[in-house]
Structure 1
Amino acid sequence: MGIGKVSLKLVIDRSKRTVLFAEAGKDFVDFLFHILALPVGQLIHLLMETGVMGSLGNLYGSVDKLNNAFIESSKKDSLLKPKAPAFFHEIPFLLFDTSPSSDSTRYYRCSTSVHCSYVALHPSAKCPVCHISMAHICYLVKPPAGKPAAESGGKGGFVLGEAMYMVMDDLAVEPMSTISSITLLKKFNVEEIGHLEEKVVDLGMDEVIKLLTTSFHSEKVLTDVFLRGKRGRS
């Protein structure tokens, strides 16, 4: 898993102790959108450590416990360790690594692979060219990490350019603008600007886990994660 962090500026209504919205850049918005494309098996594996996955966690555990007499071994890994889409390596900010690691995706080849170009998912397979058992282990190499957005002109990931975004307390996202900010303040009946507070918070792996788990049951995700969790820096 990655160890990167990203900073968010929260706009807080002090009188209600509620996050109105967060000012976020491309890196955080790409991360949020990346969650939507994350294979369910990987999401469950990540969140099972928190003990909050309920029935989906039980389903995942059931597959994990089945031995090869009851489930195809090659297909078991596809459920427990599903591969993320290839475009994930383009995202400049990945708080957790969704690409398969070299020790989790195992393939097999024959001993004369200099002349053969076949690989198999199981060592019992026979090479279609030399008819030798494909018992030699080889691994899938991960693609190179994408360049930071600043170096790639804002390309890669999901959203375009280096625009700023408003991420609402319920994780709804829209482009940042003065008009949208004013509209939001009216929507939440904020009459006194003095009641507003800005707080910069760092989002790391702990906050990612809290954000993911909280998003399953709350529509005040940013408030629950950052105002009831560890403090940010003003």
Structure 2
Amino acid sequence: MEETNVSLKLLIDRESQRVLFAEAGKEFIDFLFHSLALPIGTLVPLFEKQGIQGSFGNIYESIENLGSIYLQPSVNKDTLLRPKVQISGGGNGPPLLLQNIESSSTFMKLYSCARSSSACDSYLAYDFSAICPSCGNVMNSEKNMVDPPTPSASTERGYVKELVTYMVTDDLVVKPMSIISTITLLNKFNVQEFGALEEKVVNLGMDEGLKILKASLYSKNVLTDVFLSMLKEEVKCKTLAQKDEPA
């Protein structure tokens, strides 16, 4: 299956060598919020918030603080904040970054009894060596699995609404993008030289998505940890390539 990429626009302070924040669309926010539906998300309410290491708790608080007008009508905030242990969350299917994992991990085959009768047909098995409880024959007749219909473009998927740009800070605080939020953040980090700010668009695949979730468990500078080293490596490769070019 072809991997689906999600893009982020990073605002980088070259002087402090850190990512100040990212501009993100619905796909990335759905991915972050969906992380609470993964088994680790069930642990967050059990901790005192000030005791949570890293930035993962900020995703939880961001959902708490996000206005309901930004959420899909089908999303229940309480259910999202207190998830049951499961792989797929609400919102009509997994976020784009997790579709490959979930589609492959949930694939299975089912088998029925080769002897077709009303009594035998009421049983299904995961293992083709299973014995039919009705007649005692081996259940080795493979059944065809039918995929659910693909949601149409009009179907409301995920957790947050379209047509909204979100700010995601280095420590994964999520809020709607606004001029006030941007100015507040720049003042917080005492950014004086706007010429030192750089925009960079990055694409996320499954590798980057998993790195973000991993870093969220121990780091308060998740975006910097994940992307800055990658960007430095890109610059290094470009510099070496330019040196190798004939004069």
TM range (shorter): 0.5 to 0.7
Contact 2:215 2:225 in 1 (8 A): yes
3-state SS in 1 of match to 2:184: helix
Alignment of 1:185 onto 2:186: yes
3-state SS in 2 of match to 1:34: helix
Q: Which amino acid aligns with 2:154?
A: S
Classify 1:104/1:161 alpha carbon distance in 2 versus 1 (closer, same or farther; 3 Å). closer
Tell me by how many angstroms 1:226 deviates: 1.1
Contact 2:38 2:86 in 1 (8 A): no
Matches within 5 A, 1:152-191: 152=154, 155-191=156-192
Q: Which runs of 5+ in 1 are unaligned?
A: 41-81
Classify 1:206/1:230 alpha carbon distance in 2 versus 1 (closer, same or farther; 3 Å). farther
| 1:190-230 Cα deviation digits (max 9, x unpaired) | 23322322111111233223323322322211111111114
Identity %: 48
Residue of structure 1 equivalent to 2:96 = 93
Residue of structure 2 equivalent to 1:35 = 35
Classify 1:103/1:162 alpha carbon distance in 2 versus 1 (closer, same or farther; 3 Å). closer
Q: Which runs of 5+ in 2 are unaligned?
A: 41-84, 236-247
Alignment of 1:138 onto 2:139: no
Q: Which amino acid aligns with 1:225?
A: V
3-state SS in 2 of match to 1:197: strand
3-state SS in 1 of match to 2:101: coil
Residue of structure 1 equivalent to 2:196 = 195
Tell me by how many angstroms 1:117 deviates: 3.9
Residue of structure 2 equivalent to 1:54 = none
Residue of structure 2 equivalent to 1:21 = 21
Q: How many residues align?
A: 187
2 CA distance for matches of 1:188 and 1:125?
A: 67
Tell me by how many angstroms 1:145 deviates: 4.3
Tell me by how many angstroms 1:170 deviates: 1.4
2 CA distance for matches of 1:121 and 1:91?
A: 24
Root mean square deviation, CA, Å: 3.2
Q: Which amino acid aligns with 2:21?
A: F
3-state SS in 1 of match to 2:125: coil
1 CA distance for matches of 2:90 and 2:148?
A: 10
Q: Which amino acid aligns with 2:5?
A: K
Tell me by how many angstroms 1:11 deviates: 0.9
Classify 1:2/1:28 alpha carbon distance in 2 versus 1 (closer, same or farther; 3 Å). farther
Return the structure number with greater helix share: 2
